[in-house]
Amino acid sequence: RVLAGRREDLAGRHVVVSAGGTREAIDPVRFIGNRSSGLQGYALARTAVARGAEVTLVAANVTLPDPAGAKVVRVESARQLRDAVLAAAEHADAVVMAAAVADFRPVRQSDTKIKKSSAEPDPIHLVKNPDILAELGEVRRARLEAYAAGAAAAGGGRETGEGLAAAKEAGADGPRPRVIVGFAAETDDVLANGRAKLERKGCDLLVVNQVGENLAFGTPDNAAVVLTAEGGSVEIPRGPKEDLADVVWDLVAQRLA
Ligand code: CTP
Ligand code: CA
């Protein structure tokens, strides 16, 4: 399926893909989870390997076989996913957050299995998880500012060690990750919600999935609209998750070129 012109267009690039759905422990045997299968993230990892990229796949509770040629890091919770993604993103050209990250986790995890008693159960109190996609955008923005400040200081003849370090870290191509891609599943006001989400999270591309009609969760097919930070949109008709993945990598490759 990979077109001739695409074959090696990600050669020399390091990309990070998150896949699956996080689990937030209630006690040693129970968790709060979601319906993400990991199929879309795994399709993204496979197609990136096929196009020549070095791929780190951060997989949350996925039962699919490891894609050949990708480095797979297995995690369970949102906080573990965050640590793995941020570490891999340090040297990444692109990060694609296809994982379904739990927005909340129980405040406390019981060390022992919660038992029934004659009384009604205690409520489960929740706290917010870190927003990994937003954090990636913030890390990059901070690096860009440090780089600009360093460059300005250097330009003014006050070359600081800090400025040099920032410039070195940013590299010739700008701060990493150079391209940040989010996914979103919306049910109403799909495009308006997607646009607001892209801006809120500071990502470059947001893949807005259509939910329902046997699409998305656990199915081989997907349909989506990709919104770009510049205000554009690219429609991806219903088709295999591999095809959607290839369109995402086309857009990423364009931005990296
Ligand atoms: N995401 C993330 N960290 C979170 C929640 C979401 O990195 N704690 C990422 C997802 O991987 C996805 C994107 O953000 O790429 C959008 O997720 P979504 O759940 O649609 O966005 P939220 O900001 O959580 O908004 P909502 O209230 O609609 O769930
Ligand atoms: Ca969410």
Q: What is the mean pLDDT of each run of 10 residues along the chain (257 residues)?
A: 70 98 98 95 98 98 97 98 97 97 97 94 96 96 86 66 59 83 91 95 93 66 92 94 96 96
Strands 24-27, 30-32: pairing kind = antiparallel
DSSP letter at 73? E
For 100, phi and psi rounded to 5 degrees?
-90, 110
Question: In 3D, which of 216, 215, 227, 141 has the Cα closest to residue 178?
Answer: 141
Distance CA 148, CA 82 (A): 27
Helix 132-155 crosses helix 190-201 at what angle (to 10 degrees)?
A: 50
Q: 34, 61, 129, 193: which is the annotated catalytic residue? A: 34
Where b means 16+ CB within 10 Å and e means fewer, 151-178 reads: bebeeeeeeeeebeebbeebeeeebbbb
- From the candidate CATH numbers 3.40.50.10300, 3.40.50.2300, 3.60.150.10, 3.40.50.80, the one assigned to the domain spanning 7-101+126-256: 3.40.50.10300
* pLDDT at residue number 152: 79
* pLDDT at residue number 128: 98
In the chain, where the domains are located = 7-101+126-256
Question: How many angstroms separate the alpha carbon of residue 151 from the centre of ligand 1?
Answer: 34
Q: Which two tokens stand for residue 241?
A: 């998750």
Ligand 1 pocket residues where CB is under 6 Å: 78, 97, 99, 101, 103, 129, 131-133, 182-184, 197
CA angle 25, 61, 238 (to 5 degrees): 125
* pLDDT at residue number 166: 58
Q: Does the active-site annotation cover 34? A: yes
ipTM for this prediction: 0.99
Ligand nearest to the CA of 194: 1
| Ligand 1: nearest atom to the Cα of 128 | 8
Question: How many angstroms separate the alpha carbon of residue 208 from the centre of ligand 1?
Answer: 11
